[in-house]
Structure 1
Amino acid sequence: MATSSEFSAELLKLKKDHLVEIILNKCVPSTISVSEELRRHVEDTENDGTSKLAKVNLENNIPFIKLESELKLTKVELECSKEIIATLKTTVSDKELIITLLQKSKQINSAQMDCSVADAVKKSSNQGNQENQRTNINQINCGVANGMKIDSNHGKQNQPTNYSGNQGKSQEPINKNKAKVVGSNEKENVFKSAPKRAVIHLGRVNLNTSPEDIKNYVVTTFKRNDFNIEPCPVREGAKSISFRIETDISILEELYLSENWPKGVLINRYRFFRNQTAAAEFK
């Protein structure tokens, strides 16, 4: 029968990873080739005094101490690597979130700029029409005043008197471009304001698309069921159709993200027209 010193010598001939595996498992795995006597000695006499003595001798051996130290260092490096990987994942996630927010902000600013340009052009057009109307009124007033002056010189007629009692003065035109006023009285009143809603125009849609198709798509994409879909009037010979989409104001930013819509369709602000002809031409 082999002695403890022979077992120790046989163990020290093994590879580092095999020796560490035997120490950790307190047995000899089937994948490690050792003598049957050593295998029985390790597995059957773990609590025996002789085994304990052999274990003490092995633990006091310099190669064993070196292996144990390397094993501890490996465990520490593994834990550090796990922490570093977790930190890197968090950093990458934060960077992706920042990039997404910047892209959303850029798209929203572009949409707001387009709306501002459209409002400025419309306002400029309205002001030009008002200036022309004011010029025509002034010309008419001048002609009337000159006619009355001629009649006064010939027939000595009195100048017309306006409703304010001032002679020879025309009333000032009413300013129709006053700024909008938003109510702020929070007391209980007879009526209340309606909740804000987001209204957009979905254009350049295939002719075979129905309002139900649009409703199913937006409900699935935006995970809510409060959409109101209305088809817009279509002019004769049109190659596409459009829809009016109304929903809660809270998802306005998501409505203007291009990745939320099929390729090629057009998303912009819905314009409210007074007549059906203008609405049909808006695509």
Structure 2
Amino acid sequence: MEGTPKQPKNCSSLVEELVEQARKTALGGQVADYIPALAEVNPDYVGLAVIELDGSVHTAGDADIPFSIQSISKVFGLAMAMQRMDDILWERVRMEPSGQAFNSIVQLEWEHGIPRNPFINAGAIVVSDVLVSHYSASKSAFVQYVRHLASNSAIHADHRVWESEKEHGNRNAALAYLMKSFGNIESEVPEVLDHYFFQCSVAMSCVDLARSLGFLANRGVQPGTGERICDARSAHRINALLSTSGMYDQSGEFAFTVGLPAKSGVGGGIVAVVPDYGVIAAWSPPLNRFGNPSRAVEMITQFAQRLGLSVYT
């Protein structure tokens, strides 16, 4: 059947091959340095994990080492907010690509404090406001949600990264106060920012990420447990947003060359969803000019192309 993923004879061998290639390839870039705690991460880390819907796990390299998920956290926050707000959420944040930098203030001013989508910083701050407004202990609720999805009770926030984020978060504060002036932030700004910086500092491995987002590859049902995390419509909407806006200003190129819903973070991670197949997660700290991890992009690109995984074929 056309469009069905090709099954390699040994998926684990392919994953190992791609990690070895990545280690040997100098793709340039540098680790995020505007957050001091991230600037100290070893740039030589390379990890790749693939978890299929039937539970098969394929890993190579540093796939079990936790790292700061940063903007990948926006996927979890969005799923939680959609459960609480449903369609009302889209009155406060849109679902369009921004065409601007992920932390653009100018666009937010033009559009009266309504962010273009939930994966740019302003949109994620609105989502954080929803979580703060609807949970008595939003940070604890966020961690428990992620732990449950990943089946890993050891997942936690890296407090050093959290403090570093707070100390260097002035631009995010500017976005939040601007939206507050337009009436699009309900809670107190410091509390909202504290939650946002906290969720970005949560540390997960490639295996954790691949396992936790399996429900997006399975119409909202978590593989293995059979638990419905969200309805099929919500899974569709999250995947659509990942396809159009999940890779910063490289989203169009990633859709063009890879063809998978994906989200990256400046901690060096990427998670890509393959509907009806599974989830791919890759990690390598050096970032390209778009803020995406160069080697991780290449590993996922090669894996998807080798297996014919594009959702557009």
- TM (norm. structure 1) is 0.24
Q: Which has the larger radius of gyration?
A: 1
Per residue, is there more helix in 1 or in 2? Answer: 1
Using the size of structure 2 for normalisation, the TM-score is: 0.22
